[in-house]
A = this chain, B = another copy of it.
Amino acid sequence: MTANMELRATAEAPGTFIEAVQQRLREDIVSGRLAPREKLRLAELKSRYEMGTSPLREALSRLVGEGLVTFESNKGYRVRGLSKEDLADIAYMRTAVETFAIRTAIERGGMEWESGIVGSLHALVALTEDTATDRASLDAWNVAHDRFHETLLSACGSSRVFETQRQLAEQHNRYRRIFMGDNLPRQLIIDEHRNIAEAALARDADRAAALLGRHMVVTSCFYAKVLAGEKLAPGSEPASSALE
């Protein structure tokens, strides 16, 4: 079709431009390469991603559904803004969904669920202890962290819960990647996740739900402190705060 046709085909990217650019945009937004509140002009995106308006608009529409992009009629698309209030809202919604779903998971979970928890916890602990601070290592940590929380609920059986959790985790990751660098409270992280895993494996639903809920609060408080001090992740321009 166009010049980058076979270029794309040889790469790992999915078959259609829409999906390819959706993925690239998602990564560029979550990483902060596209700044919060940044206006996403079609002309700019066209040259940046080397494609026409149609796939771009459709990818942006989908990202609105994922909560990473906002849209205003006749004014176009923007990267979704960040704020303390929004961060709290993400944590609130996660708490609602996850404290409920973990109870079902504990009821229904079998052997594979248990081993999944043990395995993903092991990986998370290892990566948390490991003190690498480069971008790639931090990304790997995020993946392991997401995987643990996802595994915890994996036995609940609700596709809507999965989808919602995925999206909220991605939105959470954006805050982490933009504002926090490597300054993680390592021991706290390890302890909290280990305790949650223990309660889940012991089939203590009340305790697991309570610990998971408290985990959200604790994490939120830590984030809030970082945001208040406006420490930016390494590599971000420290100019003005990205918060609204």
Contact = CB atoms under 8 A, between A and B. Distances in A.
Contacts of A161: 92-93, 96
Interface in A1-51: 14-16, 19
A45 to B, nearest CB: 15
Given A57-B54, A58-B57, A92 B160 contact: yes
Interface residues of A, number: 30
A150 to B, nearest CB: 16
A64 interface: yes
A90 interface: yes
A137 interface: no
Nearest to A97: B96
Interface of A: 14-16, 19, 54, 57-58, 61-62, 64-66, 73-74, 89-90, 92-93, 95-97, 99-101, 104, 158-161, 164
Contacts of A92: 104, 158, 160-161
Nearest to A159: B89
Which of A64, A90, A92, A160 has the largest count of B CB atoms less than 10 A from its CB? Answer: A160
25 contacts: A15-B74, A16-B73, A16-B74, A19-B73, A54-B54, A54-B57, A58-B58, A61-B62, A62-B65, A64-B65, A89-B158, A89-B159, A89-B160, A92-B104, A92-B158, A92-B160, A92-B161, A93-B158, A93-B160, A93-B161, A96-B96, A96-B97, A96-B100, A99-B100, A164-B164
Question: Lowest 10 A-B CB distances belong to which pairs?
Answer: A65-B65, A96-B100, A61-B61, A93-B160, A92-B158, A58-B61, A96-B97, A89-B158, A89-B160, A61-B62
A188 to B, nearest CB: 25
Contacts of A15: 73-74
A223 B126 CA distance: 48
Contact of A100 (B89, B100, B160): B100
A54 B159 CA distance: 30
A54 B53 CA distance: 10
Nearest to A95: B100
A73 B160 contact: no
Which of A74, A101, A158 has the largest count of B CB atoms less than 10 A from its CB? Answer: A158
Contacts of A96: 96-97, 100-101, 161
A90 B160 contact: yes
Nearest to A100: B96
